[in-house]
Chains A and B, each alone.
Chain A
Amino acid sequence: MGIKLQDRVALVTGASRGIGRAIAEGLAREGAAVAVNYRSSEAQAQEVVDAITSEGGRAVAIGGDVSEYAQAQVAVAQTIEQLGGLHIVVNNAGIAKDSLVYNMDPTEWLDVMKVNFGGTFNCTKSALEQFMSQREGVIVNISSVMGERGWTGESNYAASKGAINAFTRCCAVEFARFGIRVNAVLPGFAPTDMVAGLMEKDGGKGISKQIPLKQFATVDEVASTAVFLAGPDASHMTGALLTVDGGVSAQVGVGKPL
């Protein structure tokens, strides 16, 4: 167990699996008490809590659909009540409904926007009273390289992540004077439930060979960046968008000799 986040309380949205779970466990390993938020996977969220407590950490599972403002407010209030404070919010909850624009049902951009950007907005706003009152707080938004680049079939997802990136910069500027830092992590491809469809065809080889590092990120490689941004080592960082993408967004095309 580390000590960089001792006496800190964190809320991680969508933390029952995938990158969110890895972040919750990573924060706990640095000493933070963690609220493991979930929407529908209660049993899995409890597993994360058990995994953290079995290693001597402190965690609670907190249900709530953060795409609904009222539920985000309750999740924040319950975190403060059950863990005795709030210092870190990781806006991780996200969904994808990949489709070609030509085929996309108009409800599909709004659904994705509501969870990905809406959840980020709702939890950020819900935490502000606490953060501004104590003049301390850290927000880490889990975005995507898709928010800065394009990919066939990802228009709604990319737009929602682009919104998060813009929101991250504005919040960083607005909240800085209150001692609140806001940054984002932009993962490339990490094999989680959310992108299982991309792996179906050939185990994801079609994608991994386009990544300069030639492999997908592990969830822990994404989580470690989020934990860094949440902690004192990033004390002078705000408004930053950190890519964790194996070099994907550094290249033009697949980078092979012409």
Chain B
Amino acid sequence: MADVESAVKEAVVEALALDDDEVTPDSTLMDDLGAESIDLLDILFRIQKSTGVKIEASDLGDYIQGGIPDDEFSDDNQIITAKGAEQLHKVMPQTDPSELEGKLNADEVITLFTVQNLVEMVKTRTSAAV
């Protein structure tokens, strides 16, 4: 199996038609690199082909939310709770819970997801599969 870091990077570079040096581990897929939903789908299928790890687009949200029920992850106005922010920090260590809690809309969570976050996600699936 291909090394996960390079497999993810290659998938991102090819799906988004970017140059190698435009994609860094801390680039956010959507905001920095401009990925749309079809790009994410393309990236996930490319990763599946090179690593054998199958990730559905819907898995991304589930992974980020970590099994926390919607009504505990965000409040009635879809704003992230303290518990939600803490979970986000687990899967996206670059985030600061104090900056997200009570501020970030749940729909925007995915915009914080970086190339490195995706690498870590693929690795969890790899070890789970072994």
Contact = CB atoms under 8 A, between A and B. Distances in A.
Interface of A: 132-135, 174, 177-178
Nearest to A131: B45
Interface string B39-65: 001100100110000000000000000
Contacts of B48: 133
B42 A178 contact: yes
B128 interface: no
Contacts of A174: 38
A132 B42 CA distance: 8
B13 interface: no
B92 interface: no
B52 to A, nearest CB: 11
B56 to A, nearest CB: 10
Contacts of B42: 177-178
B15 interface: yes
Which 7 pairs between the two chains have the least Cβ-Cβ distance? A132-B45, A177-B42, A133-B48, A133-B45, A135-B49, A174-B38, A178-B45
A178 B45 CA distance: 9
Contacts of B15: 177
Contacts of A134: 49
Contacts, number: 14
A5 B100 CA distance: 55
14 contacts: A132-B41, A132-B45, A133-B45, A133-B48, A133-B49, A134-B49, A135-B45, A135-B49, A174-B38, A177-B15, A177-B38, A177-B42, A178-B42, A178-B45
A133 B53 CA distance: 11
Nearest to B45: A132
A172 to B, nearest CB: 14
A244 B49 CA distance: 38
B116 to A, nearest CB: 24
A174 B111 CA distance: 22
A132 B48 CA distance: 10
Nearest to B54: A133
Nearest to A177: B42
Contacts of A135: 45, 49
Interface in B19-54: 38, 41-42, 45, 48-49
Contacts of A177: 15, 38, 42
B24 to A, nearest CB: 23
Given A132-B41, A133-B48, A178-B42, 9 more contacts: A132-B45, A133-B49, A134-B49, A135-B45, A135-B49, A174-B38, A177-B38, A177-B42, A178-B45
Nearest to B41: A132
Nearest to B44: A132
A229 B48 CA distance: 28
Nearest to B14: A177
A213 to B, nearest CB: 42
A133 B49 CA distance: 7
A217 B24 CA distance: 57
B12 to A, nearest CB: 14
Q: Which of B41, B42, B45, B48 is the most central at the interface, judged by chain A CB atoms within 10 Å of its CB?
A: B45
B68 to A, nearest CB: 29
Nearest to B38: A174
A177 B117 CA distance: 24
A174 B15 CA distance: 13
A177 B15 CA distance: 8
Contacts of B49: 133-135
A171 B88 CA distance: 35
